[in-house]
Structure 1
């Protein structure tokens, strides 16, 4: 049996990701990292959770390993598995094991989507033990001193469907993310896409108007990510109304009446 060893730092982020702090999240994360406390990012989709962790990993000069969790994500996917190569069996480390060994930041995006055995697998890494038990190898690995576990969670979307248990939540330092105030969101659009400030303000006004229309019953509302997409299309030359329709309105819903209502609203505001 052969064990494959991965070299560290292959996932370091070389370019500086643009991120605009909106509260004390950078300061809180920095102190949590020093104390090696697991970190939970809470908030709606498209509010900058993934961008934040990319930014902070770059600032710290640390390797970042990201796993986008879904309903089929299992502990085996994270820890590793045996594969057959020719006549021999080889063990391949999973992203969690690589991060634990190399001292990387492991980011579990939408952790509540993963199977329950994933939560069980990380429990011993989120308390004083900081250990990973690999059942298939019969090994317990002590986490590298620089290892840090970060997860994200969308409470609004998951409520009543898949939620993190209190026993899991209380293992993390947690910070809530939300949509930035209008001035900051406008600045983000301008920096991300080079769109005119006047057009960026219009997009932000549209977003805030839709965010307040709770009677529409939207599962998710307009994220900053959708606004960035619309701004990119406008900046590339697509007509503004069409750009807003395809990048903001259509992704929000499949209900034809709601689409029409949102389109009319956006057309007026553009």
Structure 2
């Protein structure tokens, strides 16, 4: 899925020096890699930085079928003619936009090959179907993200790719900051926000459950939204936090019982 986004004013709460690092990466034309679990604010951070820099951002949600053709472009039939259509990567390279490859490790290997010449001193894109090389616009920036924990033992970025980026690790915010995020995003009362954050941290520490993914800040925000709009608290927690985490009936019941004691 390819999404082109024009940014309004996204909310983002810095938890370290990630804003300074991103600004320096942009200034020095160095690709930027975000590492961390799902729902820790990686995509929101990139949107925020694009807004701060007043740059257009093109987001590509990578998956196992994402190919270099999807990014670079293809020939299409238009009437009686065959015409070339630039892909989102080519568009970003030419226009000087920020291209964000979300979950890049999910994409096919030819995607990594395609971006290599954009992530070193050359800053150029070779379009093999046209036999052309396009030099990147002065303002072009390549940003990528991936989830090391989820990909471990399945798909990983090779060292030859990772070492082309400046990298920053994202994790779940500390409780005070996560509470502020919930309040700011949803207008929920502070007391309820604190309880939701406490539930999130409790489940994150239950490593014995063997969950593939744990409670993201995104799930907490969803729970806060539907509580604020009128759904009962326990039901909101069950459908927005517990149910998305697992299909195992015993684990579901254990998590529901735990949450009922805390909300």
Q: Is TM (by shorter chain) over 0.5?
A: yes
Instruction: Tell me, yes or no, if structure 1 residue 76 matches structure 2 residue 69.
Output: yes
Per-residue deviation, residues 119-155 of structure 1 (Å, max 9, x unmatched) = 0000000000001000000100000000000000100
The equivalent of 2:223 in structure 1 is 230
Q: Quick one: distance in 2 between partners of 1:264 and 1:105?
A: 45
The equivalent of 2:128 in structure 1 is 135
Instruction: Tell me, yes or no, if structure 1 residue 172 matches structure 2 residue 172.
Output: no
Instruction: Tell me, yes or no, if structure 1 residue 210 matches structure 2 residue 203.
Output: yes
- Equivalent positions of 1:12-51 (< 5 A) are 12-13=6-7, 15-51=8-44
Q: Quick one: distance in 1 between partners of 2:25 and 2:31?
A: 7
The equivalent of 1:3 in structure 2 is none
**Runs of 5+ consecutive residues of structure 2 not aligned to the other structure:** none
- Equivalent positions of 1:1-270 (< 5 A) are 11-13=5-7, 15-270=8-263
Q: Quick one: distance in 2 between partners of 1:43 and 1:82?
A: 36
Q: Quick one: distance in 1 between partners of 2:260 and 2:196?
A: 11
Q: Quick one: distance in 1 between partners of 2:91 and 2:154?
A: 31
Given that residues 12 and 61 in structure 1 are in contact (C-alpha distance below 8 angstroms), is that contact kept between their aligned partners in structure 2?
Answer: no
Q: Quick one: distance in 2 between partners of 1:115 and 1:210?
A: 33
Q: CA RMSD in A?
A: 0.7
Q: Quick one: distance in 2 between partners of 1:12 and 1:199?
A: 33
Alpha-carbon shift at residue 12 of structure 1 (Å)? 3.4
Q: Quick one: distance in 2 between partners of 1:59 and 1:131?
A: 25
Moved over 3 A (4+): none
TM-score computed with the length of structure 1 as normaliser:
0.96
Given that residues 5 and 59 in structure 2 are in contact (C-alpha distance below 8 angstroms), is that contact kept between their aligned partners in structure 1?
Answer: no
Per-residue deviation, residues 45-87 of structure 1 (Å, max 9, x unmatched) = 0000000000000000000000000000000000000000111
**Runs of 5+ consecutive residues of structure 1 not aligned to the other structure:** 1-9
Alpha-carbon shift at residue 11 of structure 1 (Å)? 4.3
TM-score computed with the length of structure 2 as normaliser:
0.98
Q: Quick one: distance in 2 between partners of 1:96 and 1:85?
A: 22
